[in-house]
Amino acid sequence: MTRMPLRTSRFEIVHELPYRIRLRSIMMLAPDLDLNYLQAGVESLSGVTAVRVNGPAFCIVVDYNGTDSTRTSIIAALKQIPNEAFLNRNEKGHSVDLFDIGAKTAVAAAIPILPGPVQMATSWGLAIPGIVTAIQTLFTRGVKIEVLDGTVKTLSLLRGEYFTSNSIGALLSLGEYLEDQSEQKSTDLLKTLLKPQIEKIWIERDGREIEINFTELQVGEIVVCGPGEMIPVEGTIVEGDGSVNQSSITGESVPIHLQPGDATLSGTVVEEGTLKIRADKVGSETGMARINRFLETSLRSQSKTQLKSSELADRLVPLTFALGLGVYAFTHDAARAAAVLTVDYSCAIKLSTPIATRTSMYTASQAGVLLKGGQALENLAAIDTLVFDKTGTLTQGILKITDIVPIPAFSEKELLSIAAGAEEHYAHPVAKAVVKEAKDRDISLPEVSGVDFIVAHGVSAYVDGKRILVGSQHFIEEDELIDCASMKETAHQLRDEGKNLLFVAMNEKLIGIIAMRDELRPEAAETLAGFKAAGIKHIEILTGDHRSTALALAAQLPAVDSVHWELKPEDKAAIVKRLKDRGAKVGFAGDGVNDTPALICADVGICMPSGADLARESAQVVMMDEDMRTLLKARLIAINNRDTLTSCLWSTVAINSATLLLAGTGKISTLTAAMAHNLSTVGILGYAALKTSSSPCESKPKEPLNEAL
């Protein structure tokens, strides 16, 4: 199996304190190295608290917990940098700082009082890099903004307008700086999200499967991973085979089949089967693998709106250039031509979209929702239909055991012990409820083996050599052909009370039923009404529960338009597809492994914070707060972002057209046109950042939902 490509680099330690290390490498001067990516990668390592990168000085400063293991991990991570940290195209951001802006501004202000020869030498010296870039751009990429800037500077210098040339340079640096700050703000968010999320894992010791803290795992131990679980280590499969989703690391969307002898990548997700993996690398040694493509999809990729804005901006640059040449051809006035060339529509159009989008992503994260890129933000604003999987989204997902009904040969304690033993390995709300109830009653759990998860159906395991099946009635009665007639009336009565049922069988015979209830989230009804007020036209509920249980829940939610029950995972995806075929823009919210097909099929897949790893990987939107109102906030933030971009576009057109008219008719000078254009651009970018930096729900924190409506 192909591993992530690496580039070897040589970092040397230039200074070190007990909790801080400073390293230097000429590699950091590589023009295609994404320093944001490098910084995020190092900061994702366990034990690292802060990272500061100084590109021009080719240094990186790392604050950490002071342990030898973390220090070793930092050096190892910097020794081999993933190829994904290197940009394939000319995408590298600016490196303008306040000192650079201040220096250019000071030079522009001092130019009028300097001797003539000094003015000329200084101005040409500062302008030549930009002019060279303009020439290179013209021959490699055509007429772009760099060509306009270089032409304006050249014309100003040829006319002896040194103050104008330097002032334009200072204004351009200010614009670049503002763009940098917006990008850095978004990157800072992502760095905090790249920390490993795994806390507990299952390992096999002495023939038993036990749960330990992830930090306690040692090299050589056997890790057990079931469906929907993230593989926490880089290792080798020693037993079992299954389907593994590696898209987060390799970018390949098709799951691959792994079997004994195959290597695993940390951060990938098991879709089917159970794998026993010998840990070859553990802890912070796998930190770089965890970065996966999330940073790339969130910052490097562009939404459809961003791409359209960029294309429009690129098409307008030659138009401005042609207007400048036309003005000179008719007037033979170089000053007017230069004034026209300073007015460029593309700056505000091209920059306002990423600034607004990234700031909105940051704002949404502060509200408790993670958006995986600009397209997710755009899609969230566009949807008109919301589909909810019931358990864990509209309900609290914290099931409480209400009834334990064994057959006469078993006691409640025995039935609960058997069921909890089989379910202990399964990260599902039903399993957690059963295990919690057993622990609350101080019931010891039996040793189990051969645990097998049947997604959306149940669990199979062996206790003292006896085969145990725990799951839905459909799983027990129809798939496993076990007679459940003896408890038909009991099951019917419990369902009429709105309870979920778990059937337990031993050696092909039903031994009891466990009933539980999942309470509706207190904010659910209010939030769904809020979605209707925020432009959502249709809301549906999907559930695998029995008809009576589903209808009992839907009766409490007036905003719900339709409810479907007794569904299989493929049924949920089919319903989402049917809605899309009718022309609906669909958002689907779920949290389980069985929700993955629907999450992928929807225009926007939304996962709850406690969702399975596979669901979190598949979703475009991941909630970081259990409160459903945070999702409504994210919807309002997305709509606000869309409206802000529309305002920015029309403001750009209006202001620049007016400035262009004044410049072309000679009403304003080159410097005035440049100032009007650049200051209006900065103003529009500031508006985009300011308008999207505050949640629409912030003004009344005690009543966020009412304020949002």
Structure tokens at 436: 């919690």
Write down the architecture of domain 400-517 according to CATH: 3-Layer(aba) Sandwich (3.40)
Least reliable range by pLDDT among 351-355, 356-360, 505-509: 351-355
For domain 369-396+520-624, the question of CATH label 3.40.50.1000 is answered with yes
Q: Domain segments of the chain: what residues?
A: 6-91, 98-187+297-358+637-692, 200-290, 369-396+520-624, 400-517
All residues at 6 or more sequence positions from 140 whose CB lies less than 8 Å from its CB, including other chains = none
CATH number of 200-290: 2.70.150.10
Domains 369-396+520-624 and 400-517 share a fold: no
The confidence score (pLDDT) of residue 198 equals 62
Active-site annotation, residues: 389
Helix (H) or strand (E) holding 700: none
Write down the CATH superfamily of domain 6-91.
RNA polymerase, RBP11-like subunit (3.30.1360.10)
- The string of pLDDT tens digits covering residues 556-604 is 899 999 999 888 777 888 999 999 999 999 999 988 767 878 888 899 9
All residues at 6 or more sequence positions from 527 whose CB lies less than 8 Å from its CB, including other chains = 521, 628, 629, 631, 632, 705
- pLDDT at residue 288 is higher than 50: no
Which of the four pLDDT bands, split at 50, 70 and 90, describes residue 5?
A: very low
**DSSP 8-state secondary structure symbol assigned to residue 409:** T
Distance, in Å, from the CA atom of 558 to the CA atom of 542, rounded to the nearest integer, reads: 16
Higher pLDDT, 102 or 707: 102
How many CB atoms lie under 10 A from the CB of residue 491? Answer: 18
Higher pLDDT, 423 or 702: 423
Higher pLDDT, 27 or 85: 27
Which range, 189-193, 234-238, 269-273, 669-673, has the best average confidence (pLDDT)?
234-238
- pLDDT at residue 92 is higher than 50: no
The confidence score (pLDDT) of residue 290 equals 46
Structure tokens at 673: 């046109």
**DSSP 8-state secondary structure symbol assigned to residue 479:** I
- pLDDT at residue 399 is higher than 70: yes
Higher pLDDT, 430 or 345: 430
Which residue has 């250039």 as its token pair? 321
pTM of the complete model: 0.66
Which of the four pLDDT bands, split at 50, 70 and 90, describes residue 116?
A: confident
- pLDDT at residue 620 is higher than 70: yes
The confidence score (pLDDT) of residue 219 equals 84
